[in-house]
Amino acid sequence: MQGVGYRDWLVTTARGLGLSGWVCNRSDGSVEALIAGDAGAVDDCIRACRIGPRLAAVDHVTESLALTAEVRGFAIRPTF
């Protein structure tokens, strides 16, 4: 799904929902994100992630809960 603006789209979507976290490309071609904030807004963001931006072809979204230190803002991280 890389090369279609997914990370930029997710930053805009998450910030619009008042969420914090990060998004990055992975070397295997997938995208990983940490999304934190109001549970309803997180659910809305995950639903949007299943569709993605206009040019994306989302095959699947895997969700898992994470315990994390507080994050502020929403940023793009480097590929790993």
Q: Give the residue numbers annotated as catalytic, written as ranges.
A: 7, 25
Pairing of strands 31-36, 74-76: unpaired
d(CA 30, CA 44): 21
SS3 74: strand
